[in-house]
Structure 1
Amino acid sequence: MGHLDHAAFGWLTPVLSYVMACTGAALGLRCTVRALGATARSRRNWLVTAASAIGTGIWTMHFVAMLGFGVGGTEIRYDVPLTILSLLVAMAVVCAGVFAVGYGRDRTRSLLIGGLTTGLGVASMHYLGMAAVRLHGDVSYDPALVALSVVIAVIAATAALWAALNIRSPIAVAVASLVMGGAVSSMHYTAMFAVHVRVVPSGDVLPGATAMQFIFPLAVGLGSYLFLTSAFVALSPTAGEREASASAQRPVERTAH
């Protein structure tokens, strides 16, 4: 058995990945709140932003955490197409879940469908990301822990979507995103503890890219996207603020004539 290290850089990767998950969740919840108060086209745009934020947050969280993943006795490489596919899956599935909630007629049913879809999507993204790992040896999984990680993912996603539907105040959104970040992180590490690696030493060159060549620049790029979008969303006026400023301008126009 190869010795698995989940935090090769100490606390840096778990903490940073948690921050990423929380940022994505906070931005996604904020956008969903805005979407529910918006009209047709605007609602769609807010929901797409919400989905891309949550998807990006979860994916970045996974791979920042993976930067700290090491196996004694072998190098680790990542299959580039599979890794990118896992990002697209994260975005697409979260999008489906968010739209189910944003456009659902029956609140409870759309919440359950959205939560199940999103949770399974997060889990499939994680295991696709794991399938992209190349190392000298055989990787196997503990089925019970895999099942537990999927259950955590579904519960986390359902809770996050419920929060998006029912929470309005910024403090509540912040608390919900911290909980969501914690749930996504716990799903990740549960899934990682399910991994067993039997190292087969080999002199062959592994295919794929190293984490620093590929994962690191991509995570930095997506992280920047998250923070820029957060700033944009934070600064754009809400419907209430727009109405207030419009009504403040009207009397001025009358006196001008």
Structure 2
Amino acid sequence: MDGTVDGFRYGAVTPVAAYLMACLGGALGLRCIVRSLPDAPSWKAGWLALGAASIGCGIWTMHFIAMIGFHVEETRVRYDAATTVLSLVVAVAVVGVGVFIVGYRGTSGVTLAVAGAVTGLGVAGMHYLGMAAMRLNGDVGYDPAGVALSVLIAVGAATAALWSAVTIRGFLASLGASLVMGVAVSGMHYTGMAAVSIHVHDTTGGTWAGESPTSLLLPMLVGPVGFLLLAGVVVMFDPLLVLGEGSSASRPDVPAANSASRHGPSWRASRTAARER
């Protein structure tokens, strides 16, 4: 029989909390990527990795906070720990691929399209891998049109996020971009959830035993949430991350270090020699 699915068991609490975590991860990630642009090559990879991990953790945390509110009336829902952790690894890894592509190669049309497609497909993969972690007394089905729409939203959101990461400089502009990212990521999640149907096996009047979803999800959320808080501390104590200063490049495809190199020792030496002549 078809199960009675409720994605908002706790009302607005879980979608609002999930949206805020997506915004937090997006905001931290955007500032870290901006910080990487004018930095020396030895530090660039570190800032990009921190930004990718922040965005990936934010997306993953958003998904599983939202899933705490997912409920099927006829059966208990549990989650497989290994698959759930794997979905986190996928989220961080695929976001990292896109972030490093645009971080080192800029936002030309082809580069941005490839990075956005890879990242968006990875985010969608994380979502459906997280759904595959569900264990319940029934079968999970998906409406193909809803799945396709959720994937398109994920690709569009990822492309816009990567573009804004290396284009937007100001703190308020990045904050606004992160709010839009949160809407897009949440929209992708709930579009995918709207495509879900549950066919419950015959329970003969009983219930399928198992732990509640919060018994696994809440402890697992502690790590990513704690990471986002630590990343937030890094942002708060680095003025360049908060204010977006130090980037003198006028175009996102040109590293700021190139313009700064004009003021290096060789440039100053040539100016001194010219004055002496």
Question: CA deviation digits over 1:155-190, x for unaligned, max 9?
Answer: 000000111111001110010000000000000000
Residue aligning to 2:93: 92
Aligned counterparts of 1:132 and 1:206: Cα–Cα separation in 2: 17
Is the deviation greater in 217-226 or in 149-158? Answer: 217-226
Residue aligning to 1:221: 223
- Unpaired runs of 5+ in structure 1? 242-257
Q: Does structure 2 retain, via aligned residues, the 8 Å contact 1:83–1:129?
A: yes
Shift of 1:224: 2.2
TM-score for the superposition, normalised by structure 2 = 0.83
Residue aligning to 2:270: none
Aligned residue pairs, count: 240
Aligned counterparts of 1:165 and 1:236: Cα–Cα separation in 2: 18
Q: 1:103-252 alignment to 2 at 5 Å?
A: 103-104=104-105, 107-202=108-203, 210-238=212-240, 240=246
Secondary structure of 1:138's counterpart equals: strand
Q: How has the CA–CA distance of structure 1 residues 106 and 185 changed in structure 2, closer, same or farther, with 3 Å as cutoff?
A: closer
Residue aligning to 2:268: none
Shift of 1:204: 7.8
Secondary structure of 1:110's counterpart equals: helix
TM-score for the superposition, normalised by structure 1 = 0.89
Aligned counterparts of 1:11 and 1:221: Cα–Cα separation in 2: 24
Aligned counterparts of 2:125 and 2:197: Cα–Cα separation in 1: 18
Secondary structure of 1:140's counterpart equals: strand
Secondary structure of 2:139's counterpart equals: strand
Q: Does structure 1 retain, via aligned residues, the 8 Å contact 2:106–2:166?
A: no
Aligned counterparts of 1:53 and 1:60: Cα–Cα separation in 2: 10
Residue aligning to 2:35: 34
| Identity percentage of aligned residues | 52
Shift of 1:122: 0.3
Is the deviation greater in 56-65 or in 37-46? Answer: 37-46
Aligned counterparts of 1:193 and 1:13: Cα–Cα separation in 2: 16
Aligned counterparts of 2:197 and 2:227: Cα–Cα separation in 1: 34
Aligned counterparts of 1:79 and 1:101: Cα–Cα separation in 2: 34
Specify the structure having the higher radius of gyration (Cα). Answer: 2
